[in-house]
Amino acid sequence: MIRIYETMFIVSPRLDEESRNSMAEKVRDYIVERVSGTIEKFDRWGIRKLAYRVTKGFSEGDYTVIQFKADSESVDILEKFYGITPEVFRWQTFRREDLEKAEKKALLKKGTSEEELPEGQTEVKAVESAVVEVSEAVVEKTTETVATEE
Amino acid sequence: MVRDNRRRMRSKKKCRLCGSKTTYIDYKNLSLLREYVTEKGKIIPKRITGNCAKHQRMVKEAIQRARFMALLPYTKE
């Protein structure tokens, strides 16, 4: 199941700028190669003050935000990678369901307007459910009419 | 009846996020999140902000994410 994810991580400010940049690129390449995802957005914030002092004693950090598409089962690999990288001291990865929904809607709209089925399954499912609903409604109606006749 | 009620009536708060039809609150949008946080950094309850349950949940989620990434404080002083 391909899903949209967003990940943010903070790199230690003790490294110099070059190695911080290379660290961000390393994560990006890791997502492409190991997680086999596709990068949609790559945003470097650079050094930024933290809202509070972290237990490691840092009061600033280097932020990077990456939005990517990946398989839901392989995202764990990225989390493990963060865990064994001491330069990254905080990270967060989560699903962007709102973007997924928007994408799905756009696909459905496209399908109905062009009357084509670009990526079969979702369209077919929607049609099927609609048909089922209609048939149910018909059954209800018939039962009602029977009841009234009796 | 109506007149009696009017004396006690307060203007009813409306969920501003419903007004703008928000479907997702970004935890990086700090200027928005600061409106739902007190000076000490606590989340303001929905009975005061007037948020609906759905949007209060979104606000909560976003603030918690921002706090973890040290974009917003857990507490101030």
Nearest chain A Cα distance for residue B22, angstroms:
10
> What integer pLDDT is reported at residue A110 of this predicted model?
86
Counting Cα atoms < 13 Å in the Cβ hemisphere of A18 gives: 0
Decide: A61 and B70 in contact? Cβ < 8 Å: yes
Residues A46-61, mean pLDDT to the nearest whole number: 90
Using CB atoms, pick whichever of A51, A99, A101 lies closest to residue B72. A51
B65–A94 C-beta distance less than 8 A: yes
Whether residue A14 sits in one domain with residue A86: yes
> What integer pLDDT is reported at residue B11 of this predicted model?
76
Q: Residue A65 corresponds to which tokens in the numbers above?
A: 């935000």
How many structural domains comprise chain A?
A: 2
* CATH number (domain holding residue A90): 3.30.70.60
Whether residue A90 sits in one domain with residue A32: yes
pLDDT, tens digit, for every residue of B63-77?
999 999 999 999 987
B24–A98 C-beta distance less than 8 A: yes
- Does ipTM top 0.85? no
Range of the domain at A73: 2-95
pLDDT, tens digit, for every residue of B8-65?
777 777 888 888 988 999 999 999 999 999 999 999 999 999 999 999 999 999 999 9
**Residue written as tokens 């009234």?**
A148
Interface check for A89 against chain B (CB to CB < 8 A): the answer is: no
Decide: A68 and A99 in contact? Cβ < 8 Å: no
Indicate the average pLDDT of chain A. Answer: 81
Residues from chain A contacting residue B74 (CB–CB below 8 Å)? 52
Q: pLDDT class for A150, splitting at 50, 70, 90?
A: very low
Angstrom CA distances, A109 to A1, A21, A98, A101, stand at 21, 41, 17, 12
In chain B, the largest separation of any two C-alpha atoms, in whole Å, equals: 53
Q: pLDDT class for A148, splitting at 50, 70, 90?
A: low
A61–B70 C-beta distance less than 8 A: yes
Nearest chain B Cα distance for residue A52, angstroms:
6
Q: Residue A82 forms beta bridges with which residues?
A: none
Using CB atoms, pick whichever of A50, A65, A94 lies closest to residue B70. A50
* CATH classification number, B2-68, choose in 1.10.760.10, 4.10.640.10, 3.30.56.10, 3.40.50.2300: 4.10.640.10
